A and B are shown apart, each in its own frame.
Chain A
């Protein structure tokens, strides 16, 4: 057993060391890209948790991501409130809004839930885009700066990266604990069979609401980092295509795997960097990858790895090419 796990542990330690020491050997651009991975990672975790653990595909989470950004912009930058107040108020606002919306949305399941959350997400976008008096419409809010804490200036990219990394690792650990907790198991139960869980006496409705709240909190956290890092918050941050983009990260990595959203975020953000240099048709390429993933590997890259490990050579691709042979007709 010891020997079997040793290479794995060494690999993980090596990755951890490389990640921590990144600012010492990588350029500014690489560090910024990793920061993007971290804040989109929060959003991907948020959406992935709801899909993977709760079976809920939500299109509202990106709005929560933008929500904290707008609160920081309005209270921190424009009203001059000092750190942690705008951040905490932003997160509290996210939780309160998520409670209200969640209580309406989780009554619906599957596609209906998806449609309702999409409409909710669009409410925020419509408001942000049309409201000029408070949110400045398309122009949004510019000039957001991360704070100086305990003598560390987080405006410095390396410092910010380390801070975001610590926050992300903490977030991952907490989400892991939630996923493996009794609550996580009960949530899995409501995903598989809400009716049976209700018959067993579990408050299915409130379990789903709480899952929605946890997910919204993660999206809000990511939004704080994003607003600090980019310095701006505009309606573009919360538009529908952004949600779809993050949804692709989750599906590409593998929504049913805990690490799926993280893997997907790393791949898609780097793909964005690589493809944007070559062609302006980034969305077309993303779309094609999306189609291929859904058709051939619905469990994403991690699902593909699992298949290969089990010795099944791309069963989905073979089934696609020879549908009759695969189903035994």
Chain B
């Protein structure tokens, strides 16, 4: 295979890794709670910025990932427990609240972090050239892919092998019945929302180490995540995997061959799927 093509494919896989971490949390929260967290992009941005500060202060990249993820998880917990819960059941108020929060976060981030685009510094011990199939590729990108696979496997195990996961899956299908069976659905809601926030925070640090973070990237990222879950089917983990892989390749090849339209191109599979199969590739009818 042409070396150039191989690099594009690997770039696409790196992009897919970030898209998956972004989309998986959002799709789970939507499947269960029927809430689209419009602050998902802002959570990503803030997580990335926090990771940036941690790397700058300590030089410890794994610590940055954990710090970015946990601080956003905490933010998600506070937001869910103290605000979202008060408008539970009205899906418009819930969505509007998340819109408002995203505005505030994105606006305040400019005060604490530089307005120009930044990228996290990855230490050389994690980022060295690797020889694969006759080309040289940065090891760090394989680490990103590895983390994404790890998260996918963990999510699968949580969803399909634990009691909590069973309750979440049951809740996706029928909230009322699960609640009537004695499961405290409110607790499940909080857990899933916090999990989604944690993943957004992770994604911010991972994405911020590969792409750039800047004021305004929150809306781009929100759009990416929405396209991922609309294409894959809302509430479906497998759908998120498949759509991330498709969109990752489109972004990578689009950037190489049609830079004027690279961002535009990712909407094409979404438009086709919406016209032919509105519930998405692996989604259930809702």
Taking beta carbons and an 8 Å cutoff, which residues of A are in contact with B?
Answer: 57, 104, 107-108, 110-112, 114-116, 118-119, 122-123, 126-127, 129-133, 239-241, 244, 247-248, 251, 281-284, 286-288, 290-291, 294-295, 298, 320, 323
Interface residue stretch chosen among B17-25, B99-107, B151-159, B161-169: B99-107
**10 other A-B residue contacts (CB within 8 Å) besides A108-B278, A298-B87:** A57-B92, A57-B95, A119-B226, A130-B261, A239-B219, A240-B222, A282-B107, A283-B103, A284-B108, A290-B100
- Decide: A114 and B219 in contact? CB cutoff 8 A: no
With A116-B230, A281-B108, A290-B96 already in contact, the answer to whether A111 and B91 are too (CB < 8 A) is: yes
- The interface bits of chain B over 84-98 (1 if a CB of A lies within 8 angstroms of the residue's CB, else 0) are 001100111101110
Taking beta carbons and an 8 Å cutoff, which residues of B are in contact with A?
Answer: 30, 34-36, 83, 86-87, 90-93, 95-97, 99-101, 103-104, 106-108, 111, 219, 222-223, 226-227, 229-230, 234, 259-264, 267, 270-271, 274-275, 278, 286
Complex Cα–Cα for A119 and B274 (A): 11
Complex A-B: 22 CB contacts under 8 Å: A104-B278, A107-B278, A115-B229, A119-B223, A119-B226, A122-B223, A126-B263, A130-B259, A132-B260, A240-B219, A248-B100, A251-B96, A281-B111, A283-B103, A283-B106, A284-B107, A287-B100, A287-B103, A287-B104, A288-B100, A294-B97, A298-B87
With A57-B92, A240-B219, A284-B104 already in contact, the answer to whether A291 and B83 are too (CB < 8 A) is: yes
- Decide: A118 and B263 in contact? CB cutoff 8 A: no
Complex Cα–Cα for A239 and B219 (A): 9
With A119-B270, A129-B263 already in contact, the answer to whether A286 and B227 are too (CB < 8 A) is: no
- Decide: A291 and B35 in contact? CB cutoff 8 A: no
A110 partner residues in chain B, CB cutoff 8 A: 91-92
Number of cross-chain contacts by CB at 8 Å: 112
Complex Cα–Cα for A287 and B95 (A): 13
Complex Cα–Cα for A283 and B262 (A): 29
Q: How far is the CB of B179 from chain A (nearest CB, A)?
A: 18
With A111-B36, A119-B227, A123-B267 already in contact, the answer to whether A131 and B261 are too (CB < 8 A) is: yes
Q: How far is the CB of A185 from chain B (nearest CB, A)?
A: 22
What is the interface of chain B mostly: helix, strand, loop, or mixed?
helix
Closest to A103 in B: B275
Residue of A108, A115, A130, A132 touching B36 (CB-CB under 8 A): A115
A115 partner residues in chain B, CB cutoff 8 A: 36, 226, 229-230
A295 partner residues in chain B, CB cutoff 8 A: 83, 86-87, 97
Q: How far is the CB of A212 from chain B (nearest CB, A)?
A: 15
Complex Cα–Cα for A276 and B142 (A): 46
A251 partner residues in chain B, CB cutoff 8 A: 96
Complex Cα–Cα for A107 and B230 (A): 14
- Decide: B230 and A119 in contact? CB cutoff 8 A: yes
With A118-B226, A291-B83 already in contact, the answer to whether A244 and B263 are too (CB < 8 A) is: no
Complex Cα–Cα for A104 and B271 (A): 9
Name the residue among B83, B90, B107 with the largest chain A CB count within 10 angstroms. Answer: B107
Complex Cα–Cα for A123 and B264 (A): 6
